[in-house]
Amino acid sequence: MRKYIIIASIIIICGALLSYQPYSEVRRFRKKITELEKEIAMLRETNESLRSEIKALKEDPFYIEKIARDHLGLTKPGEIIYHIRR
């Protein structure tokens, strides 16, 4: 009887040792999946923002004018730009 208990204990210990490695890999993969899902969500938001900007650049003349004035420093004919120092 004692022999069976020792054999069963050895089998249980070996099973526990062998199952630890796959369990740690599963945890690592789940963590990686969570990180990638967060990155996907962030990239989707970025894509949506860029799509909105593209649409505005194609369809909204006021937005195009704002970009031209703010980023390129363009003016309408006859306009004078005053720079105020703070």
Give the model confidence (pLDDT) of 16-57 as tens digits: 766 667 777 888 999 999 999 999 999 999 999 999 999 999
pTM, rounded to two decimals = 0.58
Q: Check if the beta carbon of residue 73 is closer than 8 Å to that of residue 80.
A: no
**Structure token pair of residue 78:** 């006859």
Q: Check if the beta carbon of residue 69 is closer than 8 Å to that of residue 75.
A: yes
**Structure token pair of residue 79:** 């306009």
Q: What is the CA radius of gyration of the chain?
A: 32
Can you state the angle between helices 2-59 and 61-72, rounded to 10 degrees? 100
pLDDT value at residue 69: 87
